Amino acid sequence: MEQDKRNKKFNTCIISPSGNLYGSEQVLIDFLKGSSESYLVFCPSNSILYDVLRKDAKQHTFKVFCNYIELYSQVFFLLLYKRIRTVYVNEGGHIRYVKLLATLFPSNMFYVHIRIIEDTLKSRLKELRCNVKLISVSRFIQDKLQSEGYSSTLIYDLYESNNENGDMSSFSKSYLNLINIGFIGRITNSKGLPKIQLLIEHINKNYPNKFHFHFFGDIDSNEHAALDCISNISILENVKVTFHGFVKAKDKIYSKMNVVVHLSTIEALGRIFFEALDFKTYFIGYNQGGIGEIASALGLSRYMINDNSTWKEEFCSKIINLIDKDVRAVELYINAANIMKNKFSTENYVSSLEFLLLNNENFIHRSA
């Protein structure tokens, strides 16, 4: 039995370099659960991702690795002995390993999903062989790649609803004299932390004792600039700030939030936007990058803010108006949540990604 398992052939192997449960891993989990195919999946040993996949995606075969040398050595021999035809990497940070394998195995196809703006740079991607293909998560990322001279296939990330039975009226939660604002995700400068500090300092000065800011996510202890921002925020007297750390239970995060805010102007897509809508919570972000792209697709551009000299004033005005005065807000956000479920569905994502991964015969025959 074990010998049969070792000798089994797969069309595609999937590599998830990180074992966390951030956006890219959540998309991968939902993809594997929604697919009827059988994949060979590599993920880090003793990781949260591995534990979840073994439980929720049992039709697939999983292999673990302790380090990247072990990982790509296993992939090398699978390619050498023709146990796999296609390699798909769920994020772009491992492009140099993929390029090496693509050089050694020119008859095989390699797909790399580009999910962050840092991975679009020519200084990182450099020269790509014809058997290395890029997938972008948004038009924003696709345009960045094109400006660097790379083509890519656009496949919007899926969002699998976690809150089908949620009460639509909860968009208009009572806030008991405090407007509760949530920042959800890793607390880093790349997620807009410097702008968050400016915003909270502005509110501390102009709207005393009206806002409560909640941070849900781990703090990168190696990012000194981020630690300085957090220190400055924590000592303000007229605004309440709470750092909750990473909280796994989504309902505990959203049950007390009036508005979820994301202040990065370079967000590739913005899964947090989908999640907020799913849990019937207002969302506000910049009308730029992936956030602006989603807002346009869902009919919520009017609630996004512009990155100009008056953005802090615009932010406060929009939030206060959204909660206190805007009678159409609930209707528009509910409509956006319904559009999201169709446009960014698991079915659309699975069919689009598998169309690429499982239809490489022409390239393989041409290259052989």
Residue 140 is assigned to a structural domain of this protein? yes
Shared domain for 310 and 356, answered yes or no, is no
Residue 55 is assigned to a structural domain of this protein? yes
**End-to-end Cα separation, the chain, in angstroms:** 32
For residue 230, count other CB atoms closer than 10 A to its CB: 18
CATH of residue 265's domain is 3.40.50.2000
Residue 163 is assigned to a structural domain of this protein? no
Q: What is the pLDDT of residue 218?
A: 86
Query: CA 29 to CA 339: how far, in whole Å?
Result: 22
Q: What is the pLDDT of residues 21-77, one digit of tens each?
A: 888 999 999 999 999 999 999 999 999 999 999 898 889 999 999 999 999 999 999
Q: What is the pLDDT of residues 184-219, one digit of tens each?
A: 988 888 788 899 999 999 999 999 999 999 999 888
Q: What is the pLDDT of residue 164?
A: 62
Q: Which are the contacts of 280, defined by CB distance < 8 A and separation ≥ 6?
A: 163, 166, 167, 168, 169, 170, 171, 254, 333, 334, 337
Shared domain for 74 and 18, answered yes or no, is yes
Tokens at 345, concatenated: 């569905």
Shared domain for 173 and 313, answered yes or no, is yes
Q: What is the pLDDT of residues 96-141, one digit of tens each?
A: 999 999 999 999 999 999 999 999 999 999 999 999 999 999 999 9
Residue 1 is assigned to a structural domain of this protein? no
Query: CA 356 to CA 292: how far, in whole Å?
Result: 27
Give the pairing type, strands 61-65 and 179-184: unpaired
How does DSSP assign 58-74, residue by residue? TTSEEEEESSHHHHHHH
DSSP annotation of 260 reads E
Residue 95 is assigned to a structural domain of this protein? yes
Helix (H) or strand (E) holding 197: helix 193-206
Query: CA 300 to CA 72: how far, in whole Å?
Result: 43
Q: What is the pLDDT of residue 349?
A: 97
Shared domain for 175 and 297, answered yes or no, is yes
Tell me the whole-structure pTM to 2 decimals: 0.88
55 and 26 Cβ atoms separated by less than 8 Å? no
Q: Which are the contacts of 265, defined by CB distance < 8 A and separation ≥ 6?
A: 192, 286, 288, 289, 307
Shared domain for 16 and 102, answered yes or no, is yes
Tokens at 92, concatenated: 């772009």
Residue 2 is assigned to a structural domain of this protein? no
Three-state SS for 320-341 is HHHHHCCCCHHHHHHHHHHHHH
Tokens at 356, concatenated: 């690429």
Shared domain for 135 and 184, answered yes or no, is no
Q: Which are the contacts of 121, defined by CB distance < 8 A and separation ≥ 6?
A: 148
List the strands of the sheet with 240-243, edge to edge: 240-243, 211-216, 179-184, 259-262, 282-285
The structural domain count of the chain equals: 2
297 and 343 Cβ atoms separated by less than 8 Å? yes
Residue 99 is assigned to a structural domain of this protein? yes
Residue where the block lists tokens 């390993």: 97
Q: Which range marks the domain in which residue 81 is found?
A: 7-158+345-367
- Band of residue 317 on the pLDDT scale cut at 50, 70, 90: very high
Q: Which residue type is seen at 149?
A: G
Tokens at 225, concatenated: 């600039």
Spatial CA neighbour of 47 closest among 64, 62, 29, 59: 64
Shared domain for 92 and 228, answered yes or no, is no
Query: What sign does the dihedral 145-150-154-157 (CA atoms) show?
Result: negative
Query: CA 170 to CA 256: how far, in whole Å?
Result: 10
Shared domain for 337 and 357, answered yes or no, is no
